[in-house]
Structure 1
C-alpha cells in the first residue's frame, strides 16, 4: 500500500521518508534479515522518484543507521560491539555477554619455532603453536586472531574445540586458569591477506588489539593479536572519578 507523506510541508520529502524508515527500523520491521526494500520499491511506496529515495537512504547511511552492501542492497547497520577493558574476558566472551551469537572458525594451526621476539616472554621456550581464527557476528567476519600459544596445545584437536575460547582450552590442557592479561591497542592498514579474510578493502584502517595473558604463576600462556573491523567494534573503559 502507498504511504502518504506531506507534499506541502516545510520538511523535505526525503527527510520525511528517512524519518519514517528510521521509525520502522527502531520498531524492528525489517528483522530478521535487516534488508530494506529496493529504491524502486520505496519510490513506488512513497510516490517519489528514485533520486528522492536515494537522498533519504543516503541520510540514514550518513547517520550510521543503515549500510549499503554492493550487489546485495541496503541493510540496517549492525550494532557496534563494545569490549570492556576493566575485566578479564576472552574476545569470544565479550561478544556473548552482549547477547550476540558469535562464532569462530579455525583457519590454521601449526607447531613452529618460537619467534625470536617472543622467546623471552615465554620463558625461553623454543617451540609454540601458531593458531589463526576468524571471529564472526551475524555471519560477518569481525576479527582475525593470530595466537602464539604453548607447544602443549599442538596436541589439541582444534576441529573439536573450534568454538571454545582460548582461555578455556588453555585451562583444560594445563589445568591452570588465566588470571591476568595486558592489552595494547593501535591501528593498522589491512594488507591483502587481512583484507580478504575480513571482507574489507586493502588499505582499510583496522583496530589492532595485542593481548598478552598469564597464569597465576606469572608464566605467559598466550600472545594474541586481533585485527578488528573498527566500524563494528569499540573499546570502553568504565571508572569512578572522585573530586
Structure 2
C-alpha cells in the first residue's frame, strides 16, 4: 500500500492502517516485533513524529505495545485461567496452545510457617519450591509452593517442566483430588519485581491454591504472583431456575 499525501485521511492514520493489516496477516511473526521507528519512517518517507503518532494510535487501540529498551511488539494474547476445573497453572497455559515453560529458581526445606501449621499439623518442615512461569520466553508469574518434606529428594531440574500435581503423584502415589483457590491483589516487593522484570510496587494478581489428597491430607499450598496485564481468571456458571 502506498500512502496518499493528498488524501483527507492523515498520513499517520494511513500508516497505522497499513501496519494493522500486516499484523493481521502475521507479517511480524513469530517474534511479533515491528520495525523500528526509523525503519518505518524511511519506508513511508515520513517524519519520526508521524511514525510515533501511528504507533501511538495502535497502542491506544491495544494492537501493539511498547517495551522499554526492546521496541514495539504486537500485543500479546490475553491468557485465561478457568476456575471451574482442577488443573495446574502450567496446564492452563498449555491448553491455550501457548509456548509455556517453567524454571526452578530455588528449593529448600524450611520450618513449617506458622500460617501453614493448621494445614500440615504433623510437619516440622516443608519443602519450599519457587518456579518462574514463562510464556514466549517472557516471565509472567512466580509460583511459591510449600509441599510435603518427602519431596525433598526430587531432582527439580529433571522435572522442571512438570506440574507440581504430577510430581506429587509420582512421589507419593496419590493423585490430587481437589483444590481451593483464593484471588487477591498486592504490590510487588523487591524480590518479586526482580524476578518478574517489573517495577517495585507494581500491581500483581495473586492466586493462592491449597490442594488436597482424597484422604483429606493437605499436599500443596502454592501462591502464584502474576503479572495482570495479560492474565484473567474466568468461571462458567449454569443458571438454575428458582435460585
Using the size of structure 2 for normalisation, the TM-score is: 0.95
Distance in 2 (CA, whole Å) between partners of 1:41 and 1:6 is: 19
Matched, 1:78 2:88: no
After the TM superposition, which residues 33-44 of structure 1 pair with which residues of structure 2 at under 5 Å, given as runs? 33-44=31-42
What residue in structure 1 maps to residue 16 of structure 2? 18
Distance in 1 (CA, whole Å) between partners of 2:85 and 2:169 is: 18
Distance in 1 (CA, whole Å) between partners of 2:52 and 2:220 is: 48
Deviation at 1:67, TM superposition (A): 1.4
Distance in 1 (CA, whole Å) between partners of 2:60 and 2:120 is: 46
CA RMSD of superposed structures (Å): 1.2
SS state of the match for residue 127, structure 2?
strand
What residue in structure 1 maps to residue 210 of structure 2? 212
Q: Is the 8 A contact 1:123 1:219 kept in 2?
A: no
Deviation at 1:7, TM superposition (A): 2.6
Matched, 1:66 2:54: no
Indicate the larger mover: 10-19 or 32-41: 10-19
Structure 2 regions of 5+ residues with no counterpart? none
Deviation at 1:19, TM superposition (A): 1.6
What residue in structure 2 maps to residue 148 of structure 1? 146
Residue among 141, 151, 155 paired with 1:157: 155
Distance in 2 (CA, whole Å) between partners of 1:170 and 1:117 is: 22
Using the size of structure 1 for normalisation, the TM-score is: 0.95
Deviation >3 Å, runs of 4+? none
What residue in structure 2 maps to residue 239 of structure 1? 237
Distance in 2 (CA, whole Å) between partners of 1:61 and 1:124 is: 53
What residue in structure 1 maps to residue 196 of structure 2? 198
Q: Is the 8 A contact 1:135 1:141 kept in 2?
A: yes
Number of matched pairs: 241
SS state of the match for residue 59, structure 1?
helix
Deviation at 1:240, TM superposition (A): 2.5
Structure 1 regions of 5+ residues with no counterpart? none
Distance in 2 (CA, whole Å) between partners of 1:76 and 1:12 is: 23
Residue among 18, 27, 42 paired with 2:25: 27
Deviation at 1:123, TM superposition (A): 3.0
Indicate the larger mover: 231-240 or 173-182: 231-240
SS state of the match for residue 98, structure 2?
coil
Alpha-carbon distance change, 130 to 58 in structure 1, aligned in 2, over 3 angstroms:
same
